[in-house]
A and B are shown apart, each in its own frame.
Chain A
């Protein structure tokens, strides 16, 4: 008898059928109770996977693989397995988890998706980051992204990956994925283009890291307070001068571009928008998770003759 982990995939509205980080919440909650018995994650209600859902799923499976030997996925139809295959999902998990999908036939049909800027990638150290950045920068350049857009995407990815490599030390390291869309995915669907960046690690989390700095005792009473504080310029676990600037700056880039940065760790989640920051109590996430939305602005807005 297998324990089945259910997801909470919205059936209505803009996020209907989308596997987001939030849709994995019930599975993460249930996963903490798993004690070695076979487990299956049911993805049959999923129609669409975004990078955040993909990285979250990777973190969930790593968490489960650490607790039991028999982990499997039940996948719907063709589109979701095909997307997972294109995102290198089965290359990373294929030999560790079971699935109802015919992975071999997917491999034969494999074709490149131009929106995929970074397939699901697993990394452990800071040393691997420059290579990741070189590759995505080349893809962005070939696809006609302007310098400013490439800088925003690459510096977001490099700073958040560096944080994951430094603070997220865990058996599986960290996962990242980047996808471009020809419509706005976050919030209500509307016209425009959007790049989504997601990074998840299985480390000790933001509150624990900041608590190492006795100076922040008062700011780390709850996960949400710690997350809000971590997004301030110059706040870091080590307290060394010059540290703790990367996250604050990339959150600023995302917010100014009309997008957002969402930071989730422990039982907290803080999302930074241009004019506000939202905090929310959420089910426990075993590590740190970052999702960044960068809408693409039309090229003509970038010209120097732009009226104020």
Chain B
């Protein structure tokens, strides 16, 4: 953990808030998640949990207790939610799926693929992140570099990837818009401002 008592607050990566939502724990259908109707109810609860988070926060959506999730449910609860996160509807708040690599992911993946979206997935909170859905080929290296660094400025990232600052910024902005990284503005000495990127899980 990085101490918050460093000299300049704005340069210290603040601890971003996080919350976990257990999908099987609610009154939605327990282990069996089917139909768009159920998906809408779960999405409404997820939206509430997401908007309750301070800006920059990450909501971990834990579906590990779910036995069955049909495509209709997955698209309604997660696909539409991911598309709204990507369109900036919830400000800078992020979604991470907590799920092991199993058959159930196929429907989530199919929905995200249909929507040309992706989500960060972890086996458990704190575990190494992976991707569900599709990230465009040319963004994969950029995403990996940001996750390897944890937090990195645009200049440093550009240098690492051998890109110019603008190209690097374009790629990272695209990743931020997909909801896969957190982007913030840092004050860079002297007097300049630049983007820095952080992993969300």
Contacts and interface: CB of A to CB of B under 8 A. Distances in A.
A246 B73 CA distance: 10
Mostly, the A contact residues are helix
A70 interface: no
Given A155-B68, A159-B72, A249 B36 contact: no
B36 A126 contact: yes
Contacts of A147: 67
B68 A151 contact: yes
A151 B71 contact: no
Range class of the B interface residue count: 20 to 34
A233 B106 CA distance: 13
Interface stretch (A26-34, A61-69, A92-100, A127-135): A127-135
21 contacts: A126-B35, A126-B37, A127-B37, A129-B34, A133-B32, A134-B29, A134-B30, A137-B67, A150-B68, A154-B34, A154-B68, A155-B70, A159-B70, A159-B71, A159-B72, A162-B72, A233-B114, A242-B114, A246-B72, A249-B107, A250-B71
B18 interface: no
Interface stretch (B52-60, B75-83, B149-157, B160-168): B75-83
A129 B114 CA distance: 24
A272 B130 CA distance: 33
B72 A158 contact: yes
Interface in B6-55: 29-30, 32, 34-38
A242 B117 CA distance: 11
Interface in A119-174: 126-127, 129-130, 133-134, 137, 147-148, 150-151, 154-155, 158-159, 162
Interface of A: 126-127, 129-130, 133-134, 137, 147-148, 150-151, 154-155, 158-159, 162, 233-234, 241-243, 245-246, 249-250
Contacts, number: 78
A247 B77 CA distance: 18
B110 interface: yes
Given A150-B67, A159-B71, A233-B114, A242 B80 contact: yes
A127 B40 CA distance: 12
A234 B29 CA distance: 26
Contacts of B107: 155, 249
Given A137-B68, A150-B67, A233-B110, A242 B103 contact: no
A242 B67 contact: no
A139 to B, nearest CB: 13
Interface centre among A129, A154, A159, A245 (most CB of B within 10 A): A245
B115 interface: yes
A130 B36 CA distance: 11
Interface centre among A130, A159, A242, A243 (most CB of B within 10 A): A242
Contacts of B169: none
Contacts of B30: 134
B103 A134 contact: no
B63 interface: no
A130 B35 contact: yes
Contacts of B71: 155, 159, 245-246, 249-250
Nearest to A147: B67
Contacts of B68: 133, 137, 150-151, 154-155
Interface centre among A134, A243, A249, A250 (most CB of B within 10 A): A249
Interface in B87-130: 103-104, 106-107, 110-111, 114-115
Contacts of A249: 71, 106-107, 110
B67 A241 contact: no
Contacts of B83: 241-242
Nearest to B112: A242
B184 to A, nearest CB: 30
B70 A158 contact: yes
A249 B114 CA distance: 12
